[in-house]
Amino acid sequence: MKKKITKNLEWSILICTVLLVIIGLFAIYSATESTNQEEFYKQLTWIGVSIPFLIIFTLVDYDILSKISPVLFVLILISLVAVLFTTPISGATSWFTFSSFSIQPSEFAKIVMILFLALIMSRMKKKGPKEISRPTRLFLILLIIAVPVALIVKQPDYGTAAAFLVAFLFMLFVAGIDKRYIIISAIVIVVAVPLLYKFVLPEHAKKRIDVFINPDLDPRGSGYNLTQSKIAIGAGELLGMGLLKGNQTQLGFLYPKSTDFIFSVIGEELGFVVAGVVIILYVFLITKALYVAKTAKDDLGSIIAAGIAGIFFFHMVENIGMTMGLLPITGVPLPFVSYGGSSLLSNFIMIALLLNISGRRQKAIFIGQQGGDFWTKSK
């Protein structure tokens, strides 16, 4: 069985991941060289921790993982409640701190939510293709995702909460939800956004949006990080200023440069060429995740892969977009590149799930054509 899994694996997903990790290590090394390199060595440690999880989650059947997801969902909800009572870090209660290491439960909540929702959606689909579009079923699904999202917003961590919602939309689309709900949702979002801005968002969140629209409103305050990020990326030009030679990076104008603005470090020191390679690698990774969703052996695998594609898509677009001033700053890390142990480990687990699903599919091979029909067999 293991031989069959390795034979069918989408190895290009793993290769793409390794390349992103390597680029991230160079960027983190440079970002921390002028202060101390504790984060760089911690990142190396987390890579070592992540590798066994990558192997385990690749080999253990994703069907088994999904079946235990209800228990994991309850445990993750408990952790999301408990973390609200921890000491705030940078204004958010998002981490459990153990000595010099921190664990962010919301990162692992993404994985558990995807597995749990995929289990529910796939079981609904078995009862009929239109089952998932029934209002009562949709209400149940919305209720399930609303609980962790509300707890994460409470921390507050709006970026991670948004990642949940994007993954959820990807999963619904692949699960075959009636298109009229997509149209209705789009209308609701268009109407709700200005209302949320006016009556729901706290002042600091409104300020981020205002500064995104016009950084000059507060150039030395809320708009400072965005301005410095854009200067850094622009200064890199085609080939960059050179590793360890970026002005904004090395002189401390970028903050936090090893996490939120790691793409700015890459743009300044390694230039447009490497920054472009990073974007291409993400597009390739997301495309491959969608391909795994399309070719999975069952609905469960398809929906899981779609959710993972949604997570990577949101993180890539939001992080890179905010460093360029195209999207509001939300503190969303760049997968495999930004410093962060919980983020790195959870991303490796999601890669493992993609490998898991791809390894268990039945690949069709062409063996002939007769009467206009293609004849295939599985291997």
Q: Is residue 58 part of a domain?
A: yes
Q: What is the pLDDT of residues 284-325, one digit of tens each?
A: 999 999 999 999 999 999 999 999 999 999 999 999 999 998
Does the residue 374 lie in any domain? no
What are the two backbone dihedrals, phi and then psi, of residue 376, each rounded to the nearest 5 degrees?
A: -130, 165
Mean pLDDT by 10 residues, the chain (379 residues): 72 96 96 86 95 95 95 96 89 84 92 96 88 87 92 91 92 88 80 76 74 72 84 94 93 89 96 96 97 94 96 96 89 93 96 95 51 41
Residue 377: inside a domain: no
The total of structural domains in the chain comes to 1
In this prediction, residue 109 carries a pLDDT of: 96
pLDDT at position 91, please?
81
So what's the pLDDT on residue 8? 81
Contact 121, 141 (CB under 8 A): yes
Q: What pLDDT is attached to residue 293?
A: 95
Write out the DSSP string of 156-167.
Answer: T-HHHHHHHHHH
Cis previous bond, 256, omega within 30: yes
pLDDT of residue 278: 97
pLDDT at 189: 75
103 domain residue, yes or no: yes
Q: Are 225 and 212 in contact (CB under 8 A)?
A: no
Residue 135 lies in a domain: yes
**Residue 6: CA atoms inside 13 Å, Cβ hemisphere, count?**
4
Let me know if residue 297 belongs to a domain. Answer: yes
Is the residue at 378 inside a domain?
Answer: no
The mean pLDDT value of the chain amounts to 88
Residue 248: give the domain boundaries.
Answer: 2-360
Please say whether the beta carbons of 291 and 361 come within 8 A. no
Three-state SS for 373? strand
Answer whether residue 371 is part of any domain: no
pLDDT in tens, 64-96: 999 999 999 999 999 999 999 988 887 888 989
